[in-house]
């Protein structure tokens, strides 16, 4: 069941709007040097953090299309009619969303890092933190999308909910992208793991509550 | 006769208003129930209760595996009709080509769902129910938006389903094709 759901969500994402967060990510990375100025050393120092802010804002864009279309079109009802639990749907949506969000963002981080003048070592560290952090961001996005589906102004509300929840990831992710030692990286991995474990249950409960 | 749907002293409350109480219902193989009543009487809620999508405020609901056709189309808009139906049929193990044939949709198989007309989408929704292979069908206003010919087709499909031991609950304001219907008046 879950592989079918993942395949469907990946297909739908690729057909509509999966490239938007990537473009947005690159846009933010492009805008930073304009705002900060052409000081290469300064840019290099803040580069990892800037890419993280870009990733975080890019994570807000897909929230609207993750759950709401399926709710409005009765797909969630049809699935639960067939005995598919909210948690199963949530797991499938998290995996599918990461597949169309994480890897493209990692690829986009290469030109993004070039724009900010990151050197090889800093780029490698940033890629590592993004690889660890994006599954957590994807899980948060699906959870927030489940919580806000069907509400008026759900997109803005989703942003308000997601950003504070993502702050721990941002702190440790950005810190690990800037330093060589492993402490922040381990903490970031711990936070991402915690979110990944909790999100399917929170999201599943929200999806069940949507039925009434 | 095996029971496909059983309501025992079921109460349904929506938005703080009691829609119906102490409703007893029993539907066996081959039976069809026509749920009538004014707007807001709880017809659609009764279908959702039978589908297990709502919990009764009181009482017990027992139902065989059901297929639901409510207002929502639940077919992927950007997919061709055959693939969109096929996604559900693959889950349920039903046949898409038979369902398309029954509702005269075969010539639309390659047309994206979003391009279908209102009436064609209503038929596609019914075809999804047919392809589900579920014994209990829950249909919300199945005749709405159908032309004369399609109503006759619906009647034949419903009769075949009943002859094969299936049961049907349909909420409708107009009379339904497909043999004799027991009626249930809500909100009187």
Biggest CA–CA distance in chain B, Å, is 47
Instruction: Identify the pLDDT of residue A180.
Output: 66
Average pLDDT over residues B177-185: 89
Average pLDDT over residues B76-96: 91
Interatomic CA distance for residues A89 and A198, integer angstroms: 14
Is residue B58 within 8 A of residue B10, CB to CB? The reply is yes
Query: Taking CB atoms and an 8 Å cutoff, what residues of chain B touch A15?
Result: 78
B93: confidence class by pLDDT, cuts 50, 70, 90:
confident
Residues A211, B54: C-beta atoms closer than 8 Å: yes
Statement: residue A124 has pLDDT above 90: yes
Question: Chain A closest CA to B93's CA: distance in Å?
Answer: 12
Query: Taking CB atoms and an 8 Å cutoff, what residues of chain B touch A78?
Result: 68, 74, 88
In which order are the strands placed within the sheet that holds B58-63?
A: B17-28, B3-14, B58-63
Q: Which of B56, B63, B66, B72 to mutate to test the interface with A (most CBs of A within 10 A)?
A: B72
Instruction: Identify the pLDDT of residue B120.
Output: 93
Tokens, residue B54:
């709502």
B2: confidence class by pLDDT, cuts 50, 70, 90:
confident
Percentage of chain A with pLDDT > 70? 100
Average pLDDT over residues A99-109: 95
Name the B residues in 34-53 with CB < 8 Å from any A CB: 51-53
- Nearest chain A residue to B90 by CA: give it: A4
Instruction: Identify the pLDDT of residue B187.
Output: 79
- Nearest chain B residue to A75 by CA: give it: B74
Residues A8, B66: C-beta atoms closer than 8 Å: no
The partner residues of B12 in beta bridges, in order of sequence, read B20
Model confidence pLDDT, tens digit, residues B18-53: 899 899 999 999 999 999 999 988 899 999 999 999
Instruction: Identify the pLDDT of residue A211.
Output: 82
B114 touches chain A (CB under 8 A): no
Local structure of B35: helix, strand or coil: strand
Of A166, A163, A11, the C-alpha closest to A100 is A11
Half-sphere exposure of A109 (CA within 13 A, CB side): 32
Instruction: Identify the pLDDT of residue A179.
Output: 75
Nearest to A73 among B72, B88, B90 (CB): B72
Instruction: Identify the pLDDT of residue A162.
Output: 95
Average pLDDT over residues A180-188: 84
Average pLDDT over residues A149-168: 91
Q: Which of A1, A72, A78, A208 to mutate to test the interface with B (most CBs of B within 10 A)?
A: A78
Is residue A151 within 8 A of residue A144, CB to CB? The reply is no
Is residue A51 within 8 A of residue A113, CB to CB? The reply is yes
Tokens, residue A184:
């922040």
Average pLDDT over residues A77-96: 95
The partner residues of B58 in beta bridges, in order of sequence, read B11
> Given phi > 0 = left and psi -120 to 50 = alpha, else beta, which region is A140?
alpha
Instruction: Identify the pLDDT of residue A110.
Output: 95
Instruction: Identify the pLDDT of residue A193.
Output: 97
Instruction: Identify the pLDDT of residue A93.
Output: 97
Is residue A12 within 8 A of residue A62, CB to CB? The reply is no
Is residue A109 within 8 A of residue A145, CB to CB? The reply is no
Is residue B36 within 8 A of residue B185, CB to CB? The reply is yes
Provide ipTM, 2 decimals. Answer: 0.90
Local structure of B75: helix, strand or coil: coil
Average pLDDT over residues A141-160: 92
B76: confidence class by pLDDT, cuts 50, 70, 90:
very high
Of A91, A28, A105, the C-alpha closest to A62 is A105
Q: What pTM, to 2 d.p., does this model score? A: 0.92
Nearest to B74 among A78, A211, A212 (CB): A78
Average pLDDT over residues B133-140: 93
Residues A78, B68: C-beta atoms closer than 8 Å: yes
Average pLDDT over residues B130-154: 92
Average pLDDT over residues A88-109: 96
Is residue B82 within 8 A of residue B100, CB to CB? The reply is yes
Local structure of B57: helix, strand or coil: coil
Nearest to B78 among A1, A15, A211 (CB): A15
């Amino acid at each position: 069941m879950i592989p079918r759901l993942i395949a469907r969500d990946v297909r739908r994402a690729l057909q509509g709007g999966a490239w938007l967060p990537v473009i947005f990510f690159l846009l933010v990375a492009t805008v930073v040097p304009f705002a900060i100025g052409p000081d290469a050393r300064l840019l290099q120092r803040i580069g990892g953090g800037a890419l993280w802010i870009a990733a975080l804002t890019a994570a807000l864009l897909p929230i609207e299309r993750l759950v709401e279309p399926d709710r409005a079109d009765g797909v969630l009802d049809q699935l639960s009619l067939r005995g598919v639990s909210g948690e199963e749907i949530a797991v499938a949506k998290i995996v599918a969303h990461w597949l169309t969000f994480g890897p493209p963002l990692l690829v986009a981080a290469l030109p993004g890092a070039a724009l900010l003048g990151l050197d090889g070592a800093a780029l490698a560290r940033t890629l590592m933190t993004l690889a660890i952090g994006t599954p957590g961001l994807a899980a948060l996005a699906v959870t927030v999308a489940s919580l806000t589906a069907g509400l008026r102004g759900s997109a803005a509300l989703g942003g308000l909910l997601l950003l504070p929840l993502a702050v721990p990831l941002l702190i440790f992710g950005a810190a690990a992208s800037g330093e060589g030692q492993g402490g922040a990286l381990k903490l970031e991995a711990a936070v991402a793991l915690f979110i990944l474990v909790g999100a399917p249950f929170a999201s599943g409960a929200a999806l069940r509550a949507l039925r009434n | 006769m095996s029971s496909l749907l059983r309501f025992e002293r079921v109460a349904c409350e929506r938005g703080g208003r009691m829609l119906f109480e102490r409703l007893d219902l029993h539907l066996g193989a081959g039976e069809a129930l026509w749920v009538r009543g004014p707007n807001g009487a709880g017809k659609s809620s009764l279908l959702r209760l039978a589908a297990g999508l709502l919990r009764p405020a009181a009482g017990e609901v027992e139902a065989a595996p059901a297929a639901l056709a409510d207002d929502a189309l639940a077919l992927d808009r950007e997919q061709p009709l055959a693939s969109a139906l096929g996604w559900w049929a693959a889950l349920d193990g039903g046949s898409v080509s038979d369902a398309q044939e029954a509702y005269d949709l075969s010539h639309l198989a390659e047309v994206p769902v979003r391009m279908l007309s209102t009436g064609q989408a209503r038929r596609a929704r019914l075809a999804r129910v047919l392809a589900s292979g579920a014994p209990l069908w829950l249909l919300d206003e199945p005749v709405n938006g159908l032309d004369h010919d399609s109503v006759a087709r619906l009647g034949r499909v419903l009769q075949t389903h009943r002859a094969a031991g299936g049961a049907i609950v349909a909420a409708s304001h107009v009379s339904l094709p497909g043999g004799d219907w027991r009626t249930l008046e809500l909100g009187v």
